[in-house]
Chain A
């Protein structure tokens, strides 16, 4: 008996990816707006005040999902880079290129909101502990990948070079995640892990989960928008793009 298999390679051409991305974008965009609105409402208005930090802890509802996304998007970007290198597939490189700015945005957001949380709770905007420093390095890594890609004119070489750089940098992600466990840091440990019960009230946890989902949907929507413009830019001489312009 022969199994019916999904042919994943049917989207491995820019021409096929373009309309697929176009179809998915509104869905991701609307649901991200719903989730982020609901998450902010729950986090800022519904969730209870914290027993020791008062209301300043509410930065967590942006800070933690942003930090998660910064690491997650890096892994996804490196994954696309690996697929691109292995299969020599151009859309994979385009996806990697499209993810980088959003990843950098969330890294910046995590650092920025972290500073505003650190000042009232720790008493310092910034400290050079392992968690904060490794997250700052992640921001430079995103910048490095984008800059390297932009600085090489030959697109095939730019794709490959930045893919290798993205792959090399992936070692930093476990370092960021486990830094609070491996070394003494000022940054507190993880409230949520796969091995232990969450160390926060249920409403807070729900609000944070919804925010994370919203950020994920937002990342998907924006990445697909960006990959569409990358496709148009790179394939501008292809006949189907010319047709698209006419219609």
Chain B
């Protein structure tokens, strides 16, 4: 292979193929742009929900909510994930990208779809929310834009799988793919199921909106749409966990505690994570309790088990590496001596804790068939998924981006001081958003609702407990903090791409971009007795107790309401 096709990164030794490099850049930049757009809409939503501010008019609010959801849940996450897929295949396997032209076509389709969608929604007659529940109807272009975007993303998945084949045939690596690549395979598989389900439901819905089909069944729509809508968030989880493992290796030189355990946990995702689409049907008519219980539990909580395994092995691999690096005393020296000023690490660790404690626990609890009755469609639901998709996925992707800018774009980061604070600002703000919305949801405050004071109903009102207004004000403040954090991210990244000090092809970055793994012998005798990662075990136990207590508290809440049969 001639040298023109790739460069070797002077900081990391990774091979960047020119074809893959340009595509990763394009997808990552598009991702950040749509994060920015979605974030601005999110600010409008948060400030409108703040009773004392109530910023937007009703039609503007529903428009902003629709645009916010689609831009961040789909466009930001999936553009970034395509970049991650190319990184995990081409870069990590040291292999040229399969069919770059197909990849560019995919990128173009995604971009056209995303722009078209924003255009249609901004017109004002497509405020149908991310879910666009039939028989509420949007203009045909709305469905078409999502189909184009999804097909583009499917092209990206094909290119990823194609690259795996080339790498294997050309023997660019030996043995099995790296664990991080395996995580990306998991994400790509879930993406294929997601996109196929999206096609199954969106194509007939498009046909219906142009009048070719007379009727779309509301329940059938919900069943199939959620195989798309929820699974797309499961792509995020798989990709985010791949990123966690990657960052643990980048920042600490960590190795998986056990390849077998981590890969089996990903296999449980591949098989069962997507069943959680049933979370949205738990209080729907027409589907049986057996269907609900089996699917909502991801087949007896096997995919939850997988998440809890990753939740142990990611910090566990960090702890083991830190101990091998010499930080072996006590339970938490490894954590205290971690580089908390490095946004790649702090972002990843806040993502891990936030995703687990705020997003994970609440997701499983409200996914219990009967508990869902006191949660469904309240603000608790967006509270939960701001902990998973934003605090978890988005923050993990932000953390990874701080590392990618010098490595991929060959630019030094600007405003490094702000960058080291950014994950804390964003993490704190978003934790507040998640907690306060969940609190308000517990008091019955509905989601997707313009006015919980019911001022326009001519006197038929419902008064929520006074605490609900306080919580919504606190939510508004948290939104401001999160937006400052999110805007800082966008400014730092876009600013670095435009104005960051250029790094020559063979010039090293001013800071170390990767930590060499500790010697194998250094792992001997770490930890306490037979337990190599005692600190992580303590954290895991705290997590487990919080989970169990919170789980049973919710059954108690449920028991206090009306009898339901």
Q: Do A and B bind each other?
A: no
**Chain B residues within CB distance 8 Å of chain A:** none
Mark A residues whose CB is within 8 Å of B.
none
